[in-house]
Structure 1
Amino acid sequence: MTSPPRAPEEAKQPVQTGRHPRLRRSGHRRWTAPIGDIVIPRGIQVALWVWVSFNLLMAVWVGITSLKSDSEIFATPFGLPASPEWENFVSAWTVSGFGGVTLNTIVIVTISASLTIALGAPAAYVLARSSRRWISGINTYTALCVALPVQTILVPLFIAKTEVHQFAVEILFGWWDDRITLVFIYVGTSLPFTIFLLTAAFRGLPSALPEAAALDGASPARTFWSIMMPVAWPAVKSAFVLNFLHMWNEALLVLVLINSPSEQTLPAALLRLYGTMQYNSNWGGLFAGVVIVIYPMILLYLWVGRRIMEGMTSGAVK
């Protein structure tokens, strides 16, 4: 006599293994735990937390050291200051000329990041929604440009900057500001990453949105600016903030393309401050200069960091 068939409810009951139901096996005797919708191995999680903790401790240590005198920095490098030396910040601000270059940095970085989004978002939308054959080739080319380090094209950029300056001064306008050239180069070097990021975001949006807009008589431009851009706004904000952070901390292009110290940005001024403070042995002023340059960006990232992650993963899954 055969046994009666198992009831559907009994067949669907999961086998109890003694482990968390969401734990999954990866490799030989390696278990991973999910973070959101992504499963990351335990070893990588531990390594990431160690790296993050190290960087946070270094940022705190730099802030504490900036309030010490030179003797305290070497006597008690990991201790708290006996009395905060706020004069270090005054010295760093005065010697480095941060006042003028701060305005340069804000203007250059804001204009560059805004132009990058204004050009990259429409291009990413076209690449995401077009079904033509050559689109895949452009996507591949964009991904390759993201991996291309700027150091490999530094010499061509310097030659182009020199030719543009000469043409503008001698033929076109009679004058030229190399900071304008720096803005154009920032935009050009940041576009591949911006297009690559926003293309994935636009692909993750429902295709019914532009179709419904077309049925209502909206033009492609109006569909993009009035419907698709507001929906993809988290990814657009993430791209803007990431470009802003990158341009704020960039120093190589500034040193190569701009000769006048008064027209350079904060990272270049910090490098000059390093030479000055090292020569004068004013280490407290040097650490204060580092705090002035990097702490605003750390605070900005802590403020919008979660939104950046949400925007970067908005097109990962539908």
Structure 2
Amino acid sequence: MSTVELRRPPRRPKPAPGSKRFSPLRAVGLTVVGLFTAFNLLVLYWLVAASFKTPVEIFTDPFGLPKHWFALGKPFRNFAYAWEQAGFGHAFLVTVLLVAACAVAIVLISAPAAYALTRLGVRGANGLTNVIAIGMGVPFQTVVIPLFVGLAKIHLTNSLFGLFLVYVALSIPFTVFLLTGFFRSLPDELEEAAAIDGASPVRTFFSIMLPLARGGLITGLILNAIGLWNETLLSIVFLQDNAQFTLARALFTFYGAASYQSEYGGLIAGVAIVVLPMLVLYIVLARRIITGLTLGAGK
């Protein structure tokens, strides 16, 4: 009679800390996240509600629903006032074109640089990557004066092209660092197969590696667009002509006039015009952004 050896069941993995039993640290973390989320939702509600109110309603009933302009049949009066008085129409077009051009240029420059640092065996690639990572930690406020002096010498102050160069230069370190994670995660076998077929490194990059890193490219494109859309300090420093104002720069100029005329409803509506488009874009593409960031960082 043959004996059948019983097979041991696989050992179950240990549950994550705090997944079953009560964890004080987890409770504190969830409480902090919940309070932070509730605070931001409250601020967002106040911003949207106040943009439809009169100045009297803003101060007397800050968290109530707007009534006066709706009763008069002019619910979008504040938005119309901000759009016309601040010149947001032209500034909106300038901002869209500038941000789109900058985001595309940043990705076009950063992708080959990240590929060369991670896949081509460049001598000193690790050191260069570390230098780029250090560049991410340098506050751009510390280099505003040198940048202004340098652009003034080549007559690019008060110029959208000069601001374009500044935006691209200051955004490249983060984008290169982001894309290096994606290119490192790609399998080496694809490059080896392309080399056996006689493909050059340039052809391998454009035909094989670049399409595979599409998620990282889109993530970098979106994050740069969101960051540059709301940028204010550099546009204040480098732009003085009203015809070249971005939305954030136009809003800064509009702040003085609206405050002087006590048009706080129009001012808050202007803030909503600047903030809400990128907020909606982030909400719509949040899953893609988070997936792209975790994919690049996890492999």
Aligned to 1:113: 103
| Letter of the 1:255 counterpart | I
Task: Judge which range, 62-71 or 191-200, deviates more.
Answer: 62-71
Unaligned runs of 5+ in 2: 1-5
- Pair 1:67–1:128, CA change in 2 (3 A): same
Match of 2:189 in 1: 208
- Matching residue of 2:81: 91
* Mapped contact 1:205–1:315 kept (Cα < 8 A): no
- How far does the alpha carbon of each residue in 1:171-219 deviate from its partner, in whole angstroms, 9 at most, with x for none? xxxxx97110110111100000000000011101111111112222222
Task: Indicate the residue corresponding to 1:48 in structure 2.
Answer: 33
> 2:172 is matched by which residue type in structure 1?
L
Contact 1:235 1:310 in 2 (8 A): no
1:315 shift after superposition: 2.2
Question: Could you say which residue in structure 2 is the equivalent of 1:35?
Answer: none
Residue 245 of structure 1: how far off its partner (Å): 0.7
In structure 2, distance between residues paired with 1:146 and 1:181: 21
Matched, 1:276 2:257: yes
Q: 1:202 to 1:43 in 2, by over 3 A?
A: farther
Distance in structure 2 (CA, Å) of the matches to 1:132 and 1:88: 56
Residues 148-227 of structure 1 correspond to what in structure 2 (within 5 A)? 148-165=138-155, 178-227=159-208
CA distance in 1, matches of 2:108, 2:102: 10
Aligned CA distance change for structure 1 residues 14 and 255 (closer, same or farther; 3 Å):
closer
The answer on 1:80 being equivalent to 2:61 is no
Q: CA deviation at 1:123?
A: 0.3
Cα separation, partners in 2 of 1:271 and 1:43, compared to 1, 3 Å: same
AA of the residue aligned to 1:88: N
Distance 1:25 1:300 in 2: 34
How far apart in 1 are the matches of 2:249 and 2:130?
34
Cα deviation for residue 99 of structure 1 reads 1.1
Question: Over residues 16-50 of structure 1, what are the superposed CA-to-partner deviations in whole Å (9 max), with x where a residue is unaligned?
Answer: xxxxx532269xx9477xxxxxxxx5533442343
TM superposition shift of 1:14: 4.9
For residues 116 and 24 of structure 2, what CA distance do their matches in structure 1 show?
A: 41
Partner Cα distance (1:160, 1:187) in 2: 16
Question: Which range moves more in the overlay, 184-193 or 103-112?
Answer: 103-112
1:9 aligned residue = 8
Native 8 Å contact 2:158 2:241 kept in 1: no
Distance 2:153 2:28 in 1: 51
Q: Please state whether the residue corresponding to 1:268 is helix, strand or coil.
A: helix
CA contact (8 A) 1:139 1:196 kept: yes
More divergent stretch after superposition (46-55 vs 259-268): 46-55
| Kept in 1: contact 2:81–2:266 (CA 8 A) | yes
Residues 1:63 and 2:44 aligned together: no
Taking only the aligned residue pairs, the percentage that are identical comes to: 39
State the 1:91 CA deviation: 0.6
Return the match for 1:266 from 233, 247, 257: 247
SS at match of 1:281: coil
Give the Cα–Cα distance (whole angstroms) in 1 for the partners of residues 188 and 47 of structure 2.
49
Superposition RMSD in Å:
2.3
Residue in structure 1 matched with residue 3 of structure 2 by the alignment: none
Letter in 2 for 1:114: V
Distance 1:42 1:198, change over 3 A: farther
| Alignment: residue pair count | 288
**Does structure 1 residue 24 correspond to structure 2 residue 17?**
yes
1:253 offset after TM fit, Å? 0.7
- How far does residue 248 in structure 1 lie from its aligned partner after superposition? 0.6
> Against the structure 1 CA distance between its residues 139 and 31, is the aligned structure 2 distance closer, same or farther, given a 3 Å change threshold?
farther
Scaled by the length of structure 1, the TM-score of the pair is 0.84
Q: Measure, in 2, the Cα distance between the counterparts of 1:126 and 1:157.
A: 28
